[in-house]
A = this chain, B = another copy of it.
Amino acid sequence: MRTRTGSSPTIETIARHAGVSTASVSRVLRGLGGLPETVKKVQAAAAELGYVPNAMARSLRGGQSRQVTFAMPDIGNPVYVAMMRHIQATAGAAGYRLLLHSTQADPVEELAALRALADRHSDGLILCPIRVTPAHLDELGRAAAPVVVIGSLPEDLAVDSVRADSVTGAELAVRHLADTGRRRIGLLNGPADTVPGAARHQGYERALAACGLRYDDALTASGRFDAQSGEEAARRLLDRVPDLDALFCANDLIAVGALRALRSTGRTVPQDVAVVGVDNTDLAEACWPALTSVDLGAHERGRLAAELLLSRLGDEVQAPVSRLAVQPRLIVRESCGASAAHADQVGGPSQHKEIP
């Protein structure tokens, strides 16, 4: 085993060892020219001393950190984990490291993530804002590095974004419920004043109209975007409107809570009440009855956001602002009337029907 001096070798150590200049070491190590003789000496010295270039020095010199940040509201929500996985894959493949910033759905934290770009520790940011306040617009406008927002933004803001078509997604769900004979369709929403919350509500309302069903405030309830809140909201709603025959839930977590509430109030899913979630997370397949869910393309959004950010980082010239939208698909599973018998007869996992 080789001797370990206290501190790691620098480019100068290698230079001395190889009898060349630091400039030559730098060149050789990055594959730029060099006399075969020189190259060999440098490589030998580097190998022998176990030299690895210092990333911080390189970043300072080069003006870029080769790191990107993903800031999202709640790491406990599998939909963000799905995004993260694809962001990490895309960024990693391009040689970028991934920094995580969990904002706790706190706008202050979101702004902090934006402002943190000023210290140049990160070359760019992918942000999932839960709300878009004037302060957000302001900070987005003056961000010190490229930002891609996953979510909807005002038209006139010159910031790249990737959004789900949440309204259409909600429509898909509600329409499917109506088409399969449901008439008293409730909405279990997250905070109505958040971007996703507002979108779900809008889609719900619009779809009802399209199906000739009347919108009724009494059929809606809102809370947080988690299972416990979903369960509580479902109980409240069911108390108030016992004859509901379907629940459209703003995400899968809420839907899982709703399933619990339904079960504990003696209702059968989907016979008595059909349930649809949103995000098509792993939870949808894990719960029972397996959850019909609107896939808003979290994977796709993560990948696209990362690609957008990377291309922005690579660009010399200012490419025009991109505003991507991914199409939702409805994944029909048992919670929504696909007969259990049908599901039972198949061997493999992941049986579902897809409505694009």
Q: Which A residues have a C-beta under 8 Å from some C-beta of B?
A: 1, 4, 8, 50, 52-57, 59-60, 65, 67, 75-76, 78, 81, 84-85, 88, 97-102, 115, 118-121, 142, 144, 227-228, 231, 235, 256-257, 259-260, 263-264, 266, 282-283, 285-288, 343-344, 346-347, 349-350
Contacts and interface: CB of A to CB of B under 8 A. Distances in A.
A270 to B, nearest CB: 14
Contact of A282 (B67, B76, B85): B76
Contacts of A266: 344
Contacts of A1: 142
Contact of A120 (B54, B121, B257, B282): B54
A288 to B, nearest CB: 4
Nearest to A349: B228
A269 to B, nearest CB: 10
B285 A288 contact: no
A165 B244 CA distance: 47
B119 A227 contact: no
Contact of A97 (B52, B75, B121): B121
Contacts of A81: 75-76, 81
Contacts of A99: 67, 97-100
A136 to B, nearest CB: 16
Contacts of A65: 55-56
A55 B119 contact: yes
Given A76-B85, A78-B78, A227-B349, 8 more contacts: A8-B118, A56-B59, A56-B120, A84-B100, A227-B286, A259-B288, A286-B287, A288-B288
Contacts of A55: 65, 119-121
Contact of A119 (B53, B119, B235, B286): B53
Contacts of A228: 349-350
Contacts of A75: 81, 84-85, 88
Contacts of A142: 1, 4
Given A88-B102, A287-B286, A349 B231 contact: yes
Nearest to A345: B264
Contact of A343 (B235, B256, B264, B346): B264
Contacts of A285: 227
B287 A118 contact: no
